[in-house]
Structure 1
Amino acid sequence: MTHTCVFFHAHPDDEALLTAGTMARLATEGHRVVLVLATAGEGGLAAPEHLARGLGGLRRAEARASARLLGCARVVFLGYGDSGHGSPPPEGSFAAADADEAAGRLADLLAGERAAVLTVYDPAGGYGHPDHVQVHRVGYRAARLAGTPVVLEATVDRDLLLRGIRWASWIHRLPPGFDRDAFHRAYAPRAQITHRVRVGQHWAAKRASMAAHVSQAGGGDSVRTLAALRRLPAPVFRQVLGTEWYIQRGLPPGTRLHHPLAAFNDGGNRA
């Protein structure tokens, strides 16, 4: 049986980093994959040549290219502004939007698609970006309105992330201003994670999705995450990014699942 799976993200390139392998896996298995983006990411960092071209339009095109590479059937932009990192968020931005109104927009899409699964972020929005936190709020409200049966919170295994940072600090000097302590509050501890989705066979699609976001390879004062990950040798890339993590609230403690559609009794889902 096939299902429609909606992946809800804040900005173009978020899908490449957090859920691209899962999206490619589901599309390969014959499921309908829909990418929904709250904003066009026009408030993000980028090199001057990309900013001069109009970052919002460029990032929309990059998102569509990424979606094609992952096998998505549809890409939808909700049309909100990128909030950036300022406080308070600007008028018209997603973080400043009325959560019920935004949820209504998303719920209409979920109902029209008869979505079986919606992905959002963990309550902290991963690393705390206000648009990511709003994705969590809006997504859960929309799922209730539409009757979408499963909501998965895309996250990262914090225990593994902290171990990786320690390892990296032994091998290389961390960039100036790198706040290692901030990662103790980011994403989710391993004990909360219910789904460990194996996507190593789809590493090439995930890497291609990252490469599609050309504007996000530079800009700012430090090495960008996308650029650093894309420089990894293929075997290392597959090893480091071969798993994607999700939380499904309400499952018994210690649940370990290996497929995003485990709730629908697909084969090979449990550890």
Structure 2
Amino acid sequence: MRREEMERARDILGVTQDWLGWVDSGWPDGDPKPPLPEGCFALVPLEEAAAPLVRLIRSFRPHVLTTYDENGGYPHPDHIKCHEISVFAYEAAADPELYPELGEPWQVSKLYYQGGFTRERLEKVGAAMVARGLENPYVDWLKDRGPRSDRGDRTTTRVECAEYFHVRDAALIAHATQIDPDGFWFAVPREVQTEAWPTEDFELVDSKVPTTLPQDDLFAGLR
């Protein structure tokens, strides 16, 4: 992933961004997979890798933290490492005995895992494609998707955001060296997605404020 592509995606989304400073681990390919490159993010010890995130949490003081689930969405080593340091930093940033040199402690109020593509979502969107006489791009993916790879029953929070799908797509396309605008991720027309599955889905993992489930807002209980 090129830095300028990430910066372009950031500008499209209208968000701020901080680089934590680690080296991309890459996607190991082969059977067996080759060893990860020395010094990459996935191999940095947990407490060392989490330190920049603890510093960022204490300076930015967010109320909500989102991250990958324990499988990284899919098992990319950097996604899994991101999950690990996020869960660790969620608690560590609030502990005055940990990293005292990194700023005043701050307790994030809620921790979510992003839901990703559940079987239910793939089936509904695929069926909507077939109903329009279009090819279902998820047939092979669903064949390989066993119960252990699905997390639909863990979904607690569905956020309506179809009106922003065009922004999401533009930010993804900004990663020109990694994303083909005519490829798999754009095989489903946006109007089909909007009708069949207009939400992004999350799992509430921990909350320091009273909440009720299900939710339609990551900031439920905080507003």
- After TM superposition, the score normalised by the length of structure 2 is 0.75
Q: Which amino acid aligns with 2:56?
A: L
Bigger CA radius of gyration:
2
C-alpha displacement of 1:173: 7.8
- Counterpart contact for 2:137–2:184, Cα < 8 Å: no
Of 120-129 and 231-240, more deviation after overlay is shown by 231-240
1:114 and 1:160, CA in 2 relative to 1: closer, same or farther beyond 3 A?
same
Q: Which amino acid aligns with 1:261?
A: F
C-alpha displacement of 1:73: 2.4
Q: Which amino acid aligns with 2:21?
A: L
The equivalent residue for 2:99 is none
The equivalent residue for 2:84 is 137
Cα distance per residue 1:88-119 (max 9 Å; x no partner): 32211221111111111110011111121111
Query: What does 1:29-44 correspond to in 2, within 5 Å?
Result: 41=1
The equivalent residue for 1:122 is 69
The equivalent residue for 1:163 is 123
What are the ranges of 5 or more consecutive residues in structure 2 without an aligned counterpart? 95-107
Cα distance in 1 for partners of 2:203, 2:109 equals 14
Q: Which amino acid aligns with 1:194?
A: T
Q: How many residues align?
A: 201
C-alpha displacement of 1:80: 2.3
C-alpha displacement of 1:213: 1.6
**Aligned mate of 1:227, from 183, 207, 210:** 183
1:187 and 1:113, CA in 2 relative to 1: closer, same or farther beyond 3 A?
farther
**Aligned mate of 2:162, from 166, 187, 200:** 200
Cα distance in 2 for partners of 1:238, 1:77 equals 34
Higher strand share goes to which structure?
A: 1
Query: What does 1:38-57 correspond to in 2, within 5 Å?
Result: 41=1
The equivalent residue for 1:49 is none
Cα distance in 1 for partners of 2:21, 2:197 equals 28
Cα distance in 2 for partners of 1:241, 1:69 equals 23
Cα distance per residue 1:46-94 (max 9 Å; x no partner): xxxxxxxxxxxxx211111111111102342432222422453221122
The equivalent residue for 1:89 is 36
What are the ranges of 5 or more consecutive residues in structure 1 without an aligned counterpart? 1-40, 42-58, 219-223, 267-271
> Over aligned residues, Cα RMSD in angstroms?
3.2
1:255 and 1:63, CA in 2 relative to 1: closer, same or farther beyond 3 A?
same
| In the alignment, structure 1 residue 188 sits paired with structure 2 residue 131 | no
The equivalent residue for 1:154 is 114
Cα distance in 2 for partners of 1:116, 1:139 equals 14
Of 208-217 and 136-145, more deviation after overlay is shown by 208-217
- After TM superposition, the score normalised by the length of structure 1 is 0.63
C-alpha displacement of 1:228: 2.9
1:161 and 1:64, CA in 2 relative to 1: closer, same or farther beyond 3 A?
same
1:119 and 1:178, CA in 2 relative to 1: closer, same or farther beyond 3 A?
closer
Task: Work out the percentage of aligned pairs sharing the same amino acid.
Answer: 24
**Aligned mate of 2:21, from 71, 78, 91:** 78
Q: Which amino acid aligns with 1:106?
A: L
The equivalent residue for 1:105 is 52
